[in-house]
Chains A and B, each alone.
Chain A
Amino acid sequence: MKRFKFEGKAFEYFKIWIVNIFLTIITLGIYYPWAKVRNNIYFYRNTKLLDKNFNYLATGKQLFLGYLIAICILGIYLIIDIIIPQFNYIFAILLFIAIPWVIWRSIKFNMKVTSFNNVRFKFDGKLSTVYLIYFIYPLALFILIGLTIAITFSMKSLWSIIIGVLLIPTLLVLGFSFLEVKKHSYIFNFLEYGQSRFKIDLKTKMFIKILFKTLAVAILSFIGLCLIMFIINYSSITQIIEQINYMSMSGTMDSDYLSEILKSFIPQLILFYILAIIANFIVYAYYQTRVREYIYSNLVLDEKITFTSTLKFLKLTYIIVSNILVIIITLGLTIPWAKVRLTRYMLENTLISSNIDLNTFLNEQTAKESAIGEEIGDVLNIDAGIVI
């Protein structure tokens, strides 16, 4: 069993990060692709396994064109949104049609520019599969849910509405789990490292299980949230209700006084907001932990190397929530520290194991030379920031 290691240091990264932002600002954003490359290089090169590191091989120039196109699309979107909001949906439809292609290019590109121990990764998934996963299936799910609503609610009998109300969440859970399985399987099953292939065998059933557990966690954290708010405010709430009762009975309802009361609730509202954010990240951390655990436990490289995720849900929640609080308090200056901290925790809880000698395996990989035809199509490099 070997652990991944992350050797990045908060202050070291801070210096790179701040220079990146500074140069991006004074070049009015033009430097951004180069900043992104430097940023990625720092994280990739500091990620190690058996003393060998990853590397990020894209150049700023390669990212620049994709970045330019993204900016133009954003600009066009904003202009359309302002001038003719009615046409927004046409733009949205066009975007929906284009997005699977962008995702496909982006995965391909990102894998190609990632290397470990001088060998690049390679992704050879088909474009048609992406369209199935990111266009056809979601569309089918959308239509199915629409039909369910239309049919069950138009019958106007209580029973059909009850069936509809039960059927829609079921469809959502099923559809979501199915899509998640397809997405993750697609990325890993067509991924190559050197002459070795990744393989993954995911079951929709397991994702449904994870989803239900996540739902339970969500309900529990919501109850906890309400309980905390109730305990803190119990005395003041009863007091106010009495006051209002008294005023309305004696007919001395004073709007000024009422607004004073409401204002006294502002600290509580802020507290509620913060607690709601924490609850939200508890749920997020739980889902992430479980999904990662399940995916890694099913991932195999070259039929003999396996992976394990040992993330702990509470620890991850603690890291994310404390990161956010510290970032807010320091007005964003600790973003680098938070990123390094989170990355280190994630990587150091990723294990790799095999019954053969890993060292030998990792030092005998060779990437196939890519055909020339592929290179020509690579002029347009897109990095949509797909995170695995």
Chain B
Amino acid sequence: MIEGFLYKKNSSDNQKAKLLVSADIFTLTIENQILKKEKISSLTISSRLANTQREILFEDGLVFLTNDNDKVDKLIVKKRSFLHFLESNLFIILLSIIMIALLIFSFTKSGIPYLSKKLSSHIPLKISKAISNNSLEVLDKYIFKKSNLSDSRRDEIQILFKNKILPLINEKRNLEYKLSFRSWDIDKKAIPNALAFPNGEIILTDEIVKISENPNELISIILHEIAHVKKQHGMQRILESSFITIAIISIVGDVSMLGDLGIGLGSLLINNNYSRDHEQEADIFAFDKMLENNINPKYFITIMDRINKSIGLKNENKILNYLSSHPNTNTRLLIAKKYEECFNKQLLNCDSIISLHPIE
């Protein structure tokens, strides 16, 4: 016997009622008066959710509301609802917590970078070019100024670029690498930096040219930037952040303001972490090319050292390391040192390096 309330259709008018079930016939009674005696199959029953009130709908629109969920399941529904089974089984709950944690971890750690890598090579070059032109326009308008380097100095580097660097790059896409110069100041302090755009546009700031003491240093920097273009890191980053946005919105879209905060912070940390892998990949590309062409990889260390000194970064600590987009200088140095050893031994490649890939 199931106790509950009987409602008229679309009405809050209700009375205490009882539902008796025998075999596949139910009997609906109010104060011991029989109101209905029909087949169970004529009933529509809303699905069970924890122990909340459920409604049983009769064919004529009457509604029977009851909290006696166990009896409804046992006598009328006869099989347990799959969702309710999942929601009430502690083992399954524990399993889904672990699964979710694993899925989120592996998806952000490997799934998203993998997908972005795969996808980025399918994105038409036209799009990459459009994006690059756009971002360069914005930078030129608001951040960069015209280069103040002398024409002869610029020509010198352009010749270096054409004769020594371009032949090293074996670009299969219909892409033309170009080098140009800009000056970039923050608070009247010139910033030594190099940038690469997906369309092959490489930018050197005046300060990085001034800071360099050897053409090989500039070669190492330019090679590093070219690696970003060649390996399509820019596009991958855009795809990665899009994936993360979509994933977060679709999974926890309605957590409201409470959850958003923690999630937003988390995605920022993840996002920055990706580009560290990219930086390392670019480093290794540059080292490989230098080794192949008999340029000592130490030049990369010497110029990076000077750049770090100039912007006041040294011995990054742990917190900073996680927030910064460049790999920990120490890890970077270690790899460079290894390459330098290979160079000194006059090896042409230095594969052992892969095992140095950072383990936090």
Chain A interfacial positions (CB closer than 8 Å to B): 12-16, 18-19, 21-22, 24-26, 29, 32, 36, 38-39, 41-42, 45-46, 52-53, 55, 71, 74-75, 78, 82-86, 116-120, 194, 255-256, 258-259, 263, 266, 277, 320, 323-324, 327-328, 331-333, 335, 338-339, 342, 362-367, 369, 385
Contact = CB atoms under 8 A, between A and B. Distances in A.
Contacts of A74: 246, 249
Contacts of A82: 127, 131, 238, 242
Interface in B295-330: 309-310, 312-314, 317, 319-320
A52 B65 CA distance: 10
Contact of B12 (A84, A255, A365, A369): A365
17 contacts: A13-B50, A24-B250, A24-B251, A25-B251, A52-B12, A118-B11, A118-B55, A119-B12, A263-B317, A277-B261, A331-B262, A333-B97, A335-B258, A339-B256, A363-B12, A365-B12, A367-B10
B309 A255 contact: yes
Interface string B87-98: 110001100110
A9 to B, nearest CB: 8
B53 interface: yes
Nearest to B255: A335
B211 interface: no
Interface in B7-21: 7-8, 10-14
B12 A118 contact: yes
A14 B14 CA distance: 33
A385 B99 CA distance: 29
A45 B100 contact: no
Interface string B231-274: 00000001000100110011111111011011100000000000
B83 interface: yes
Given A19-B96, A52-B12, A116-B12, 20 more contacts: A18-B93, A32-B253, A38-B49, A45-B49, A45-B53, A46-B52, A55-B55, A82-B242, A84-B130, A118-B10, A118-B11, A118-B12, A119-B10, A194-B12, A255-B312, A256-B314, A327-B262, A331-B262, A332-B263, A333-B97
A26 B312 CA distance: 46
Contacts of A333: 97
A118 B250 contact: no
A85 B250 CA distance: 24
A364 B49 contact: no
A46 B24 CA distance: 31
B128 to A, nearest CB: 10
Contacts of B92: 19
Q: Tell me what chain B mostly uses at the interface: helix, strand, loop, or mixed.
A: helix
Nearest to A256: B314
B293 interface: no
B103 A25 contact: yes
Nearest to B103: A25
Contacts of A38: 49, 83
Nearest to B97: A18
Contacts of B13: 363-364, 366
A78 B50 contact: no
A332 B262 contact: yes
B86 interface: yes
A26 B102 CA distance: 12
A118 B63 contact: yes
Contacts of A256: 309, 312, 314
A16 B50 contact: yes
A194 B8 CA distance: 13
B251 A21 contact: yes
A137 B258 CA distance: 31
Contacts of A13: 50
A29 B96 contact: no
B261 A385 contact: no
| A21, A38, A327: most-surrounded residue (chain B CB, <10 A) | A21
B49 A15 contact: no
A36 B7 contact: no
B331 interface: no
Given A78-B245, A363-B13, A19 B251 contact: no
Contacts of B127: 82-83
Contacts of A14: 93
Given A15-B88, A36-B254, A362 B12 contact: yes
B134 interface: yes
A339 B256 CA distance: 9
Contacts of B53: 45, 53, 55
A267 to B, nearest CB: 9
A22 B14 contact: no
B313 A18 contact: no
A86 B310 CA distance: 36
| B88, B93, B250, B317: most-surrounded residue (chain A CB, <10 A) | B250
B261 A366 contact: no
A177 B128 CA distance: 45
B131 A83 contact: yes
Contacts of A86: 134
Contacts of A363: 12-14
A125 B252 CA distance: 31
A332 B264 CA distance: 12
Contacts of A46: 52
A277 B264 CA distance: 13
A61 B130 CA distance: 40
Contacts of B252: 21
A324 B242 CA distance: 26
Contacts of A320: 258
A327 B260 CA distance: 10
Interface in B84-142: 86-88, 92-93, 96-97, 99-100, 103-104, 127, 130-131, 134
Contacts of B14: 117-118, 363
B262 A328 contact: yes
B93 A385 contact: no
A331 B259 CA distance: 10
B65 to A, nearest CB: 7
Q: What 5 A-B pairs are tightest by C-beta distance, nearest first?
A: A45-B52, A22-B96, A117-B12, A29-B250, A255-B312
